[in-house]
């Protein structure tokens, strides 16, 4: 994620900001330019970025709830931005706690969608003309007739909004023995399932997928029951990125997809902050835009020392490691495959 600059005063601003803390300028995210810009908002609701020759932008309809800072491009007559129009169900906002939860969920979701757009991957809402698209359903457990399970099915990504509560999410992380559990991680993982169906299933890539991840035609429900009843294999950490990845090839793919997004997104931020990270092979360079780096070995070589530094810094503050994982040799091959699939499908 890049760090941006307020065009009015030069202050550093961030992806989620709606106002510059130094000069008070209104800020908004421009999906067509993938940047946060200082803007002027007219009385009729039209928005003009300060350094743009285009006018006629509009705020997303969810800006009124403090849930979105994205703009709609000139000529786009939809009420919601590219990220918010993916929503099919949002929680009941008449419940005060739900608004706070939803705002936190949208920030994580918008970051995940930003990742996809930076790669040039197809991001379309599930609708009559695009049944293969994405639909998000954010469900409140208190209002649901049955337990709400976070997951993916046929492009529909469901999230239990209780995950937006830090205490609840941490309790689940501990109960399930997970080293890492975040809203952004949920989105990246579940989107991985969606893109497996879009980019791998039914394509010539399926044979290579099965060679690396295993045969996904094994019974999924049975595999998950076995995982939860018996736990992961004793040597899971020698073959998988996480214990959950060992449960089924689909979950292995989704976990590795999420880690690819973690890697590229964080390396992009490090480069934007001009952090000097020397990889294992100093001759390999990621460059200024990690999303356009097709050299997977360069990404991985730089990822190792960066995560070592991040973990060490967190420990200095008494905080858990942000990347509590070991990338073993089999996982390296899986990540490299996903990286090739993404670059083959996107415009990066």
Q: pLDDT tens per residue, the chain (348 residues)?
A: 788 999 999 999 999 999 999 999 999 999 988 999 999 999 888 999 987 777 789 999 999 999 999 999 999 999 999 999 999 999 999 998 999 999 999 999 999 999 999 999 999 999 877 778 999 999 998 887 888 999 999 999 999 999 999 999 999 999 988 999 999 999 999 999 999 999 999 999 999 999 999 999 999 999 999 999 999 999 999 999 999 999 999 999 999 999 999 999 999 999 888 887 766 665 677 878 899 999 999 999 999 999 999 999 999 999 999 999 999 999 999 999 999 999 998 654
CA atoms within 13 A on the CB side of 88: 16
Residue-level pLDDT at 54: 77
Which among 39, 99, 104 has a CA at the least distance from the CA of 72? 39
User: Exposed, middle or buried by CB within 10 Å (0-12, 13-18, 19+), for 319?
Assistant: exposed
Residues with Cβ within 8 Å of 53's Cβ and at least 6 positions away in sequence, in order, are none
Residues 198, 204: Cα–Cα separation, whole Å:
13
Tokens (6 digits) for 17: 């900001």
Residue-level pLDDT at 346: 66
Residues 109, 113: Cα–Cα separation, whole Å:
6
Residue-level pLDDT at 288: 81
pLDDT in tens, 101-116: 999 999 999 999 999 9
Residue-level pLDDT at 38: 95
Alpha helices in 77-149 (DSSP H): 96-119
Residues 198, 122: Cα–Cα separation, whole Å:
9
């Amino acid at each position: 994620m890049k760090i941006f600059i307020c065009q009015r005063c030069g202050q550093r601003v961030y992806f989620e900001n709606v106002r510059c803390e130094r000069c008070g300028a209104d800020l908004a995210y421009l999906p067509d330019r993938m940047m946060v810009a200082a803007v002027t908002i007219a009385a009729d609701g039209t928005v003009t970025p300060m350094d743009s020759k285009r006018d006629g932008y509009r705020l997303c309809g969810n800006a009124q709830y403090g849930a979105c800072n994205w703009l709609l491009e000139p000529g786009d007559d939809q009420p919601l931005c590219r990220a918010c129009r993916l929503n099919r169900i949002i929680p009941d906002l008449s419940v005060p706690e739900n608004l706070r939860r939803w705002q936190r969920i949208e920030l994580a979701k918008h970051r995940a969608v930003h990742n996809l757009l930076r790669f040039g991957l197809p991001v379309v809402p599930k609708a009559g003309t695009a049944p293969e698209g994405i639909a998000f359903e954010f469900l409140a457990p208190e209002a649901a007739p049955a337990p709400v399970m976070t997951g993916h099915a046929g492009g529909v990504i469901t999230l239990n909004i209780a995950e937006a509560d830090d205490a609840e999410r941490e309790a689940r992380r501990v109960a399930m023995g997970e080293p890492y559990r975040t809203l952004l991680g949920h989105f990246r993982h579940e989107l991985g399932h969606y893109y497996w169906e879009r980019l791998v299933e039914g394509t010539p890539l399926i044979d290579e997928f099965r060679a690396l991840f295993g045969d996904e035609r094994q019974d999924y429900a049975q595999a998950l029951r076995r995982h939860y009843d018996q736990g992961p294999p004793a040597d899971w950490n020698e073959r998988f990125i996480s214990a959950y990845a060992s449960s089924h090839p689909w979950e292995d793919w989704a976990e590795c997809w999420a880690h690819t997004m973690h890697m590229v997104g964080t390396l992009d931020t490090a480069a934007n902050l001009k952090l000097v990270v020397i990889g294992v092979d100093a001759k390999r360079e990621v460059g200024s835009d990690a999303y356009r780096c097709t050299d997977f070995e360069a990404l991985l070589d730089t990822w190792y020392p960066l995560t070592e530094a991040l973990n060490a810094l967190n420990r200095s503050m008494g905080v858990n490691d942000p990347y509590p994982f070991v990338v073993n040799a089999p996982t390296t091959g899986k990540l490299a495959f996903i990286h090739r699939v993404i670059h083959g499908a996107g415009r990066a």
